[in-house]
Amino acid sequence: MSTSILSVKNLRLALPDGGDRRYALDDLTFHLQERKILCIVGESGSGKSLCAQTVMGLLPKAIRVDGGEILFGGRDLLKADKEGLRGLRGRQIGMIFQEPMTALNPSMRIIDQIVEVFEAHGLLTQEERQAQAVKLATEVGLPDPARIIQSFPHQLSGGQRQRAMIAMALALEPVVLIADEPTTALDVTTQAQILKLIREIQQRRGMSVIFITHDFGVVADIADEVLVLQKGVVVEQGTSGDVLRRPRHDYTKALLAAVPSGIPPFRPGLGDKPVAISVANMRKTYVTGGSLFKPKRTVHAVKDVSFEIRRGETLGIIGESGSGKSTVARLVTRLVEPDGGKIMLGGEDFGALPAGSLREARKRIQMVFQDPFASLNPRRKVGLSIADGPIAHGVSKREALQQAADLLKLVGLDPRSIDRLPHEFSGGQRQRIGLARALALKPDVLIADESVSALDVTIQKQVLELLEELKGKLDLAMLFITHDLHVAAQVCDRIAVMRQGEIVELRPTKELLNDPQNAYTQLLLAAIPGKSGDIQHPVL
């Protein structure tokens, strides 16, 4: 029988006055067992990350503990002083943070950041610290570890940065590891590698792990126990098999029902609908370096890419980071100029238009960006952000604002929110605003670049349904860029698979998912988390 190594009892975190609820966490109780992985699941705002921050003693000042205890090694961590917590962090409890690019120091090499962990605790000689850094980099699977840890964070891929974060968290061999959404922004293959790595290290070192996520596919792959949070309250907890196969609470059922099934819905044929956009042999090459001390580096970002999209059709482009997906989007919209190839928008040679004509033609092709908060001006009311495009093309401000209100209603938001600022909306609402802004110029082609990748499953489902509804209502052609094949299955008529700048397979969605021909497509499908069949999609 397992022994509890960390116990959270009746934890209550008070929020500042004026919010939508009084407590961030209300009467939270759970027990982390030795050598087990506990997954904490819930949507944004459920209190998942605040739970981890409280255990680590890193709670924001605006939030205060209003009761409860966190027991570890016979002591209550909530009563520990700063020195006690500093000695505990890393040595006894390690943490992998959600966004490695933010958590890592951009001005320090990876090796120096790993070495710093030992320095902070006064452990080992400098030579031993360096050797241990290489050993840790090897253990977490960094390629050519002695060389790569001499790099700065921006010189590594997302998966490599996450592996560096794991190396730092494991440096002092903690008995408890907290992983806060460590795979959220990663490709399916990289995500599968990180999940396998965490599981292997956990078993090899005999650690206990708290794994925070909103992805039930990840839960199915890694969890021993599951705890479901809704607005700071535990609504369900139990073994992974019980929660995933036999959910009891309506909220858990709703989360599971929102997980994309990967089974394409029936799609009627497009008949003889006209081609909205066609791309032929598009190319883009980047050359970097070329200085006295740095040789030239040539990257063929996009190589002879060709496709067409009809009115009312959605073409998905999938692939890993660096495959060229987003570069294709920027080339098609001419935010970046291609080195060669042809882009036909309707019957017009969009790629050959001079600057004067390009501004007017751009109305016909618009983009919804991945991060809605970063793409909206934080100091500008959302109504004006939506109206800016029409105003720039000669529509009066009064008329443009009325259209903005109508568009907010179209995407499922209250038209009266036209005078609010972006920070006053949730992530899903901001993505709807980004969609309204893209539709303001009445485009023929809509490009959605990873537009749902950072959203919770229920919000993601709502946005996907909205995109599908608007595509049919407005007869749009849509280019849908994603790294999630399950999501692509729900909205795409056809899917193009990209690898290293090339399209390696382009087929109707159902055919591609049921019988992938290319080995790389097969690899992507095999790496999707939760393929074991553990996740049930209950009928509500």
**Cβ atoms of 237 and 51 closer than 8 Å:** no
Number of H helices, E strands in the chain: 21, 20
Return the domain boundaries, the chain: 1-84+214-257, 312-335+353-526
Sign of CA dihedral 46, 85, 65, 243: positive
The domain made up of 312-335+353-526 has a fold known as: Rossmann fold (3.40.50)
Degrees, nearest 5: CA angle 434-435-440: 100
**Cβ atoms of 236 and 243 closer than 8 Å:** yes
pTM: 0.79
Same fold, 1-84+214-257 and 312-335+353-526: yes
What are 256's two structure tokens?
A: 């599971």
Q: How many residues does the chain have?
A: 540
- Tens-level pLDDT at each residue, the chain (540 residues): 568 999 999 999 998 886 678 999 999 999 999 999 999 998 877 889 899 999 999 998 889 999 999 999 889 999 999 888 888 888 899 999 877 877 899 999 999 999 999 998 899 999 999 999 999 999 888 888 998 999 999 888 777 888 899 999 989 989 999 998 887 767 778 788 888 888 988 998 899 999 998 888 889 889 999 999 999 999 999 999 999 999 999 999 988 988 877 788 877 777 788 999 999 999 999 887 666 666 777 888 899 999 999 999 999 999 887 788 989 999 999 999 999 999 999 889 999 999 888 888 989 999 988 777 778 898 999 999 999 999 999 999 999 999 999 999 988 888 998 999 988 887 778 888 988 999 999 999 999 988 777 677 887 888 888 888 888 888 999 999 988 888 888 889 999 999 999 999 999 999 999 999 999 999 888 888 765 455 554 432
What are 263's two structure tokens?
A: 């089974």
Give the torsion through C-alpha atoms of 270, 472, 366, 310, to 10 deg: 10
Q: Under CATH, domain 1-84+214-257 is a member of which superfamily?
A: P-loop containing nucleotide triphosphate hydrolases (3.40.50.300)
Identify the helix (H) or strand (E) that includes residue 309: strand 297-310
What are 238's two structure tokens?
A: 């139990």
